[in-house]
Chain A
């Protein structure tokens, strides 16, 4: 996985001048995250208004991602910043950062700290490209 230096040059999603994280920026972040490791099965990024990008069907990912984030919030008794659920079939992760959310599915026995760090780096890149909207949403 694994992006060793989160803030290195080139790790950020290119800014397009759009007012908020648009689909192309989020698609880029999803593609970049998936390219980090073959152990990543899929992922999705959610913005303040809903799902922005996913590695598969947007509607299916949107529903499943919202379900995990809701379950995590209920378990945390408030907003959950990160979640890791390991099952026999694979591992599910969810991260919230600066008004954005991201979920990912990996093979079993991945290094959770690295996956979560890469997810945060992906969201940080998106929020840096769109500081105004994300800050308002946060």
Chain B
């Protein structure tokens, strides 16, 4: 017996919702702290937290985030 049409639509919507939830979970898990700075010329560079510049950026950002509380 074929499934009722509304059941097909509900299954499809539930499938999309599951995919979206999984995408968000993956994004949260994989996204690590980072610092990115763009110079006036437009070129950007990542600064790892272990580097001197990265440490300074993360410290300054933490102070700013604390200020916003």
Contacts and interface: CB of A to CB of B under 8 A. Distances in A.
Interface in B55-69: 56-69
A88 B33 contact: yes
Q: Binding site of A, secondary structure by majority: helix, strand, loop or mixed? A: mixed
Contact of A83 (B36, B40, B42, B65): B36
A105 B60 contact: no
B65 A71 contact: no
A71 B58 CA distance: 9
Interface string A46-82: 0000000001110011011101101110111111111
Interface string A83-108: 11111111010000000000101000
Contacts of A65: 64
Given A75-B53, A81-B38, A86 B31 contact: yes
A78 B65 contact: no
B27 interface: yes
Given A60-B67, A74-B53, A74-B56, A81 B34 contact: no
B60 to A, nearest CB: 4
Interface in B14-47: 27-28, 31, 33-40, 42, 45, 47
Contact of B47 (A75, A92, A103): A75
Interface of B: 27-28, 31, 33-40, 42, 45, 47, 53-54, 56-69
Interface of A: 41-42, 55-57, 60-61, 63-65, 67-68, 70-72, 74-90, 92, 103, 105, 109
